[in-house]
Amino acid sequence: MISIELAGETVLLHHDRALFWPARGVLIVADVHLGKGSVFRRSGIAVPSGDTLADLGRLDNLLAEFDASALWVLGDLVHGSAQPDTPWLGDVRAWRQRHARIGMQLIAGNHDRQLDTASLGFEVLPGEQTRGPFVLRHDPKVSAQGYVLAGHLHPGVTVRDGRRRHRLPAFVFGPCVGLFPAFGSFTGLAHVRVEANDRVYVATPGSLLELSAR
């Protein structure tokens, strides 16, 4: 875990691709993509099951570790549409009921349009939302209202270990926009342009690695 200052606020970065804002007691993640494996299997693509339960378990651990009072998702809580009796929907609703005391808000992302995400127990908010010095968005566009926290791009950076190269998810904090790694375990990574003054934190399986943008 790494503590940094962002827009005048102290926040905690966790290697499991999450940010905690202590002043508000809020856990923030982006691009969870629940049900992605099910969508692939429905399309005839053979992928393992269990990704949704695994990611809900990761959220369980983070909510407990920080004793969070709220969860904010910066878009793409789900990956796509589903039939009403699809098992993973029941898993999500049961999980939400276990955390009934925790307020959960979703900044609607492009994938969320394919499902009634409010039926999963989240307060769904459109567009951008201002919270203190931060502007919550799904897509990383600069806002005059404050420092933007966003997802959508699934940022990854390449780390060299001797002769080996590893592509890993990363937080990238620029002067106006902070880009979150995708939380979902069944998501790809996209190369993102890192500028000279950006702060980059790579999420490894057990820790965070701060990199120089150079």
Q: What are the pLDDT digits (tens) for 128-139?
A: 899 999 999 999
Of 48-52, 64-68, 105-109, 149-153, least confident by mean pLDDT is: 48-52
Neighbours of 129 (CB within 10 A): 15
Whole-angstrom CA distances from 198 to 30, 31, 212 are: 19, 21, 8
Of 47-51, 145-149, 179-183, least confident by mean pLDDT is: 47-51
* pLDDT value, residue 41: 46
Are 63 and 27 in contact by the 8 Å Cβ rule? The answer is: yes
Q: How many Cα atoms occupy the beta-carbon half-sphere of 2 within 13 Å?
A: 20
CA–CA distance, 36 with 186 (Å, rounded to integer): 7
What is the arithmetic mean of pLDDT over 114-119? 74
Asked whether the predicted pLDDT for residue 177 surpasses 50, the reply is yes
* pLDDT value, residue 51: 77
Instruction: Spell out the domain ranges in the chain.
Output: 2-211
Average pLDDT, the chain: 85
Neighbours of 117 (CB within 10 A): 22
Element (H, E) at 57: helix 51-66
In words, the CATH class of domain 2-211 is alpha beta
